[in-house]
Amino acid sequence: MTPKRRRLSIVLIGLTMLGAAAALVLTAFEENLVFFFSPTELQAKEIAPDRRIRVGGLVQENSVASFENGLRTEFTVTDLEHSVKVVYRGQLPDLFREGQGVVAEGKFEGGVFNASEVLAKHDENYMPREVADALKKSGRWQHATEKQ
Amino acid sequence: MLRDFLEMGGYATYVWSSYAVVLVVLAGMLIASLNALRARDSELKALEERVGGRRQRRNQGRVEEMANDA
Amino acid sequence: MNWFHWFANPARFMRLAARLQPWIMVLGLATGAAGLYYGLFDSPPDYQQGETVRIMYVHVPSAWMAMFVYTMMAVAAASFLIWKHPLADVAAQAAAPIGAGFTLMALVTGSLWGQPMWGTWWVWDARLTSVLILFFLYLGYIALVNAFDDPERGSKAGAILLLVGAVNIPIIKFSVDWWNTLHQPASVARMDGPAIDPSMLLPLMLMAAAFKLYFLYLLIVRMRGELTARRIRLLRLSDAA
């Protein structure tokens, strides 16, 4: 084996082992790498009552209700299989709206999720308003709410 | 019209700061790189002149030595 | 492999680069001007994000460059370690500060976009965190290369760090698919075509091309500087001997 060949195989073997190690570590820590849980994932796991978690999904259509002059907001986060009722006091991000993605951070208190922070999550689609309207009109609108 | 454009639908701070940051970093990298290149080029030139001059003298000395030896 | 060796000759490379340099600048300025025109004046606001979508035209090209430059450096590191191409090491060292700059731009513009849209400047989700790690990899590489008295050893240690850190690149790219993140999945590089309207894709692509050309220009300038620095070092050594 020439020195070049030897160095090439060292690098290739090293990279393969590194990749395998990284994959193992990332799989082992998956629980900590996810930013939020979906309502369905929450169904399957036992959450300690005072543990702070994040719930993510879509704001269910027609679920947003505002109280106390907009100081308190209640809405439902859904992944279209299960849903979680959220109560939040505070300022909502500009992108917060029904049918859009949302991530709420807080604790479960008696079946309701008491959020201390609400972040909006947008999807990967970018288009002008006219295009969105035209798509909706022609029935080709594939919104996340209807897609899954 | 111009005001609408500058206001960016109420997001002027965020949009214009983004473009400003990008402009500053891009320009900064160019200026720093060009300055470093210029400084090194002149350093190399000065060094070449000094070393070259010394070598020439050294070589001249050697030529004279050889001449004396002969 | 022949062209590769031909290209690896520093003097020949520098002659070619010097000839290409003005063209790269002209082309880069032209695409950049067109990208800015379409991005700021002649493209519609997004149906959800409004005018903040214009941040995309600088944020996304910066993020692409941050990953592209690192990938290029990792390839250079491999060819330096395996085939001992000195020019590969020069390229990696010259590219590092530019890559760090692009990563910083991606982080800051992303933050300026996240605050109005998501409602936060920063979150520790997998995408944002892995890009921050990329930034530290660039800084770590620059520090490591310069930490040795013997530049050859610095180059080698740096190249190994670059290869180890390369594992972060697929993590950045696929973080949004593998884990729940606040950051949305890819809009352009996806299986069933871009999810961006053509009117917005045009300025994005123009800016991406401009950023790449700008990087090329900067890389040539910095590689010339690095090659000159090495000649200075050699001259000093031979002079002292």
Closest of A148, A126, A144 to residue A61, by C-alpha: A144
Q: What is the pLDDT of residue A144?
A: 47
Q: Which of B18, B43, B54 sits opposite C109 (nearest CB)?
A: B18
3-state secondary structure A6-39: HHHHHHHHHHHHHHHHHHHHHHHCHHHHCCCECH
Number of domains in chain B: 1
Asked if the structure places residue A12 within a domain, the reply is yes
Stated as kind and residue range, the H or E segment containing A119 is strand A112-121
For chain A, how many residues are written?
Answer: 148
Cβ-contact C77, C158 below 8 angstroms: yes
Q: What does the domain layout of chain C look like in residue ranges?
A: 17-240
Q: What is the pLDDT of residue C1?
A: 46
CA distances from C15 to C94, C217, C220, C224 (A): 17, 14, 11, 10
Distance CA C19, CA C13 (A): 10
Is B20 part of the contact surface with chain C (CB cutoff 8 Å)?
A: no
Q: What is the pLDDT of residue C161?
A: 97
The ipTM estimated for the assembled molecules is 0.90
pLDDT profile of chain A (148 residues), mean per 10: 85 91 87 88 80 91 87 92 92 89 90 91 89 82 50
Cβ-contact A98, A57 below 8 angstroms: no
Is C82 part of the contact surface with chain A (CB cutoff 8 Å)?
A: yes
Chain B hits for C58, Cβ within 8 Å:
18-19, 22
Is B24 part of the contact surface with chain C (CB cutoff 8 Å)?
A: no
Chain B hits for C218, Cβ within 8 Å:
29-30, 33
Give the closest-approach CA distance of C6 to chain B in angstroms.
25
Asked if the structure places residue A86 within a domain, the reply is yes
Three-class secondary structure of residue C42 per DSSP: coil
Give the closest-approach CA distance of A78 to chain C in angstroms.
15
Q: What is the CATH number of domain C17-240?
A: 1.20.120
Q: What is the pLDDT of residue B61?
A: 67
| Domain coverage including residue A92 | 37-123
**Can you name the residues that pair with A73 across neighbouring β-strands?**
A66, A88
Chain B hits for C62, Cβ within 8 Å:
22
Distance CA C228, CA C231 (A): 5
- In chain C, which among 5-44 make CB contacts under 8 A with chain A? 44
Q: How many CA atoms lie within 13 A of A115 on its CB side?
A: 26
Going by the DSSP 8-state scheme, the letter that residue A102 receives in this structure is E
In sequence order, what are the residues at sequence separation of 6 or more whose Cβ sits closer than 8 angstroms to the Cβ of residue C69?
C95, C98, C99, C102, C215
Asked if the structure places residue A135 within a domain, the reply is no
A-C interface: how many C-beta pairs under 8 angstroms?
A: 119
Which pLDDT tens digits describe chain C residue by residue (241 residues)? 455 565 567 788 888 888 999 999 999 999 999 999 999 999 999 999 999 999 999 999 999 999 999 999 999 999 999 998 889 999 999 999 999 999 999 999 999 999 999 999 999 999 999 999 999 999 999 999 999 989 999 999 999 999 999 999 999 999 999 999 999 988 888 877 788 999 999 999 999 999 999 999 999 999 999 999 998 998 888 877 6
Question: What does residue A72 show for φ and ψ, rounded to 5 degrees?
Answer: -120, 130
Q: What is the pLDDT of residue C190?
A: 81
What's the farthest any 2 CA atoms get from each other in chain A?
Answer: 78
Give the closest-approach CA distance of C181 to chain A in angstroms.
5
Q: What is the pLDDT of residue A109?
A: 85
Cβ-contact A59, A102 below 8 angstroms: yes
Q: What is the pLDDT of residue C39?
A: 95
Q: Which of C49, C163, C180 sits opposite A56 (nearest CB)?
A: C180
In sequence order, what are the residues at sequence separation of 6 or more whose Cβ sits closer than 8 angstroms to the Cβ of residue C11?
none
User: Taking CB atoms and an 8 Å limit, are C181 and A26 in contact across chains?
Assistant: no
- Residue to mutate among A24, A29, A124, with most C CBs inside 10 A, is A124
User: Taking CB atoms and an 8 Å limit, are C221 and B22 in contact across chains?
Assistant: no
Say which CATH number the domain at A78 has. Answer: 2.40.50.140
Interface residues of C toward B, Cβ cutoff 8 Å, are 40-41, 45, 50-52, 54-55, 58-59, 62, 97-98, 101, 104-105, 108-109, 112-113, 115-116, 214, 217-218, 221-222, 224-225, 228-229, 231-232, 235-236, 238-239
Is B22 part of the contact surface with chain C (CB cutoff 8 Å)?
A: yes
Three-class secondary structure of residue A58 per DSSP: strand
Q: Which of B21, B28, B32 sits opposite C109 (nearest CB)?
A: B21
Going by the DSSP 8-state scheme, the letter that residue A109 receives in this structure is E
How many Cβ atoms from other residues are within 10 Å of residue C53's Cβ?
Answer: 28
Pair (A51, A16) in one structural domain: no
Between B39-43, B65-69, C156-160, C218-222, the lowest mean confidence (pLDDT) is in B65-69
Q: What is the pLDDT of residue C7?
A: 57
Number of domains in chain A: 2
Closest of C106, C99, C108 to residue C214, by C-alpha: C99
| Domain coverage including residue B52 | 2-69
Chain B hits for C52, Cβ within 8 Å:
8-9, 11, 14-15
B-C interface: how many C-beta pairs under 8 angstroms?
A: 89
Give the closest-approach CA distance of C68 to chain A in angstroms.
19
Pair (A28, A47) in one structural domain: no
Q: What is the pLDDT of residue C51?
A: 93
Q: What is the pLDDT of residue A145?
A: 46
Q: What is the pLDDT of residue B66?
A: 65
Three-class secondary structure of residue A103 per DSSP: strand
Distance CA B39, CA B33 (A): 10
Is B27 part of the contact surface with chain C (CB cutoff 8 Å)?
A: no
CA distances from C203 to A92, C53, C58, C112, C128 (A): 31, 11, 10, 19, 24
In sequence order, what are the residues at sequence separation of 6 or more whose Cβ sits closer than 8 angstroms to the Cβ of residue A148?
A79, A80
Cβ-contact C61, C208 below 8 angstroms: yes
**Can you name the residues that pair with A115 across neighbouring β-strands?**
A88, A106
User: Taking CB atoms and an 8 Å limit, are C235 and B48 in contact across chains?
Assistant: yes
Distance CA C239, CA C229 (A): 15
Q: What is the pLDDT of residue B18?
A: 97
Chain C hits for A15, Cβ within 8 Å:
163, 166
In sequence order, what are the residues at sequence separation of 6 or more whose Cβ sits closer than 8 angstroms to the Cβ of residue C8?
C85, C86, C87, C88
User: Taking CB atoms and an 8 Å limit, are B14 and C221 in contact across chains?
Assistant: no
Asked if the structure places residue A106 within a domain, the reply is yes
Stated as kind and residue range, the H or E segment containing C170 is helix C168-178
Is C121 part of the contact surface with chain A (CB cutoff 8 Å)?
A: no
Burial of C182 (0-12, 13-18, 19+ CB in 10 A): buried
How many Cβ atoms from other residues are within 10 Å of residue B63's Cβ?
Answer: 10
Pair (A42, A113) in one structural domain: yes
CA distances from C55 to A50, B20, C39, C101, C185 (A): 39, 11, 9, 17, 17
